[in-house]
Amino acid sequence: MGLLSKDVAIDLGTANTIVYVKGKGIVIREPSVVAIDRYTGRIVAVGNEADDMIGRTPENIIAVRPMKDGVIADFDITQSMIKNFIHKANVASVLKPRVVVCIPSGITEVERRAVEDAIIQAGAKDVALVEEPMAAAMGAGLPVNKATGSMVVDIGGGTTEVAVISMGGIVSSQSIRIAGDALDSAIVNYIKKNIGINIGDKMAEQIKMEIGSAYEDNEEGVFDVRGRDMSTGLPKTVQVKESQIREAMKENIEEMIESIKMTLEHTPPELAADVMERGITLTGGGALIKGLDKLVSEVTKIPTYVAEYPLDCVALGTGKALDDIKNLLAKTKIR
């Protein structure tokens, strides 16, 4: 058994990396974060452990997110991170694993090659690529191979990818660099400007997950925010309201919806009609923003659904692509 080469799918996300092993399912789900000793360059921690260090490290240790906007920002650190996850997944024993990894739809040839090289240098025997929106749609259980239009909107940390898929191909797509991270920054800025408190990105993300919402309803959640008072320089706790956070995120969310509308405008009428009828599916961590589905369906007049496991869709879809790994590898090698 140990002599069989393993097939592995990797969702190398800006915020989270997920590793799926054929026959097992998802075995690793950790933040795409690496902690490094600034002076020696030595890697101190990877994944969850490194993430816990963000904002809490002594001066010599920095926590780095080596993926940015869906592509590799730091090659060596990304490669070490992948190596660590492959090792943890316990798939590199005797024979090297074959890997399928997903990439955003709009990236350059150079960016693609960097992903391939990083995976190979991290210890893979072969690597094949699948496009992220396709993986997201497959993972959400959409009928990607049928002659009908399916729309998927994947909102991750760095990018929001919108795509219409039909007969196994992406018919039209858009990728914008506004997603979860941008929402966090918007919350930091709003609280600085309107409340006079400085908070970190992590605190902003926590606020977003707890009380962030896109659509006004009767509820008004509150959150006790801890930060630094800008006038006294001292720590302070203030209460923020759901409506304030909605206001903070408003502009970015409008841009996401604009991108959905643009993609629909560039979709052939028959397929757009399919989408009108079958609806829009939201995936990625951003799909969990409360009321986003409701807002999207109100603005677009198209029924909108959140996928069952939004954070796992891309990994599950890339995992499904493993069934076709021979063809995918052949295609990758021809390029």
Distance CA 149, CA 147 (A): 7
Our measurement of the distance from residue 27's CA atom to the centroid of its chain's CA atoms, rounded to an integer in Å, reads: 17
**Of positions 9, 16, 99, 264, contacts ligand ADP by CB under 6 A:** 16
Residue span 156-195 as binding mask against ligand ADP, x where in contact by CB under 6 A, dash where not: xxx---------------------xx--------------
Quick one: what does residue 209 bind among ligand ADP, Mg ion, none, with the CB cut-off 5 to 8 Å set by partner type? ligand ADP
Smallest gap, in angstroms, from Cβ of residue 269 to ligand ADP?
A: 31
**Of positions 288, 303, 305, 332, contacts ligand ADP by CB under 6 A:** 288
Give me the sign of the Cα torsion angle 187, 227, 52, 289.
negative
Smallest gap, in angstroms, from Cβ of residue 162 to Mg ion?
A: 13
The residues binding Mg ion (CB under 5 A) are: 13, 156, 314
- Write down the H helix ranges in the chain: 48-51, 75-88, 109-121, 132-139, 180-195, 201-211, 242-265, 269-278, 292-300, 313-321, 325-334
Smallest gap, in angstroms, from Cβ of residue 327 to Mg ion?
A: 23
Size of the site for ligand ADP (CB under 6 A): 19
DSSP assignment of 273-335: HHHHHH-EEEESGGGGSBTHHHHHHHHH-S-EEE-SSTTTHHHHHHHHHGGGHHHHHHHHHH-
Quick one: what does residue 66 bind among ligand ADP, Mg ion, none, with the CB cut-off 5 to 8 Å set by partner type? none
Smallest gap, in angstroms, from Cβ of residue 157 to Mg ion?
A: 7
For the beta carbon of residue 66, count every other beta carbon within 10 angstroms.
Answer: 22
205 binds ligand ADP (CB under 6 A): yes
Quick one: what does residue 30 bind among ligand ADP, Mg ion, none, with the CB cut-off 5 to 8 Å set by partner type? none
Smallest gap, in angstroms, from Cβ of residue 11 to Mg ion?
A: 6
* Residues 250 and 289: beta-carbon distance below 8 Å: no
* Residues 306 and 228: beta-carbon distance below 8 Å: no
Smallest gap, in angstroms, from Cβ of residue 102 to ligand ADP?
A: 9
Residues contributing to the site for ligand ADP (CB under 6 A): 13-16, 156-158, 180-181, 205, 208-209, 212, 284-286, 288-289, 311
